[in-house]
Amino acid sequence: MIAPNSNIFQINTIYEKQSKRHLELTVDERLKYLKLLSDVIKSHENAIKKALHLDLKKHPTEAYITEIFPVLNEIQLFVKKLPTWLQPEIVANGLLFVGSKAYTQLEPKGKCLIISPWNYPFQLPIIHLIACIAAGNTAIIKPSEFTPNTNEILQKIVSLVFNEDHVAVVNGDATISNHLLSFPFDHIHFTGSTKVGKIIMAKAAENLSSCTLELGGKSPVIIDDKCDLDAMAKKLIFGKFVNAGQTCIAPDYVLVPNNRKNDCIAAIRKAILDAFGETIQQNDNLSRIINIANHQRVVQLLKDAKLAGANIVFGGNYDVSDLYIEPTVITDIPEDQPLLQEEIFGPILPIISFDTVKDAVSFIKKRPKPLAMYLFTNQNKWLEYFKIKTSAGALVVNDVLVHMMHPNLPFGGINHSGIGQSTGWYGLKDFSHQKPILESSKLLSSTSKIGFPYKSKIEKLLKFLI
């Protein structure tokens, strides 16, 4: 039975309970919750896989790779590192503070709201909850209403680990989200579209709530003039077609030198057929589009581009009754087409050729800064050029997607692709207030040197220190 939508009274009660909770969990208590969360997730792996298949037709292995493994891996990292991460960080003193003790200490921000999307409906709410709980906060999770089966198992797991005054899941549509945003949360973590992210940020500003926005954008793939196209294509089609392209860091379009365009298309075509076979719709490795509305949106992007003169060189078939869209490769797209202006969020891969590296950079810079950029090259001159000339949430060389699972790298965007950083140490810091603490020396207090009554020697002393 799918969990029912939450009502306003229930939400108000949960918020009131969490507001009264004292945020005084020790490190050991936080670790105990994280370990229990890991155990409960492991005991419900099959149920999670089943729910993800019902909502998105995810293959069980894809469900584990993209939804369950990242969460368990993140918990393992926090269990190992949290005691060290929560230690005070001593900072150096200047001459004015000789004898004082200065350090920073992470403290909980307080009441947190985690709003998560439908494309990775288990991984995203839990992976941010890990950092939130490790930081000592309370949390209300609002998942997308488009994944009711996953929401049910999400709510069950959360209820087995936490009391409602600590962590709770509330279900419902945009009306519920709007009601939640009226509360003065201490921190809001949102994952979703740039359009909705702007609304979240405006709502957060009304209560001066800090917020982290994980958005999206058009993440480019750049192919140099020498890289192995077959090796590139195998990685590219995984990054593009996992979860049917419904990934915020999915490659959104490919930039390839003019003289390699045909060879690049041939390599991508071969990689798709090797992965899915000739009868792709019958292959259970390919997920489906989340719902009819999004299916229609992606198909319309394809139709508009085709009418404008674009050339479909592979795929192009779809079946609305099955929410299926065939992996599609398309070229010769007029630059004003929505397919090259909007985030695709579906299994369509535009190929754009360029004359010079400068032209490729110019094409990228015409669009808002992306969440990720993928460069396939073994040439240092290409790497240095794109490191200096472009800006993105992350730059990944000779691979796709995997940077989000690196234990010591932050995940996040820049400007339109996001604000703030998540996962690992950066996620902990995101859900914490880094409080500066100064224990002034009794004998060498700074104010005893510069306080009332003012004397001419004070200014001389400060100039000496400068």
List residues with catalytic annotation.
214, 248
Give ∠ CA 255-258-261 in degrees, rounded to 5.
70
Strands of 432-439's sheet, edge to edge? 89-90, 101-108, 432-439
Query: What is d(CA 132, CA 427) in angstroms, rounded to the nearest whole number?
Result: 8
Q: Cβ(121)–Cβ(52) under 8 Å?
A: yes
Complete DSSP assignment for 189-243: EEES-HHHHHHHHHHHHHTT-EEEEE----EEEEE-SSS-HHHHHHHHHHHHHGG
In this structure, the number of other CB atoms found within 10 A of the CB of residue 462 comes to: 12
Look up residue 339 and give its DSSP letter.
Answer: G
Closest CA relative to residue 155, chosen from 175, 140, 134, 176: 140
Closest CA relative to residue 190, chosen from 435, 430, 433: 430
Structure tokens at 416: 């339109």
Query: What is d(CA 423, CA 67) in angstroms, rounded to the nearest whole number?
Result: 14
Structure tokens at 40: 């409960």
For residue 370, cis peptide bond before it (omega within 30 degrees of 0): no
Radius of gyration (C-alpha) of the chain in whole angstroms: 25
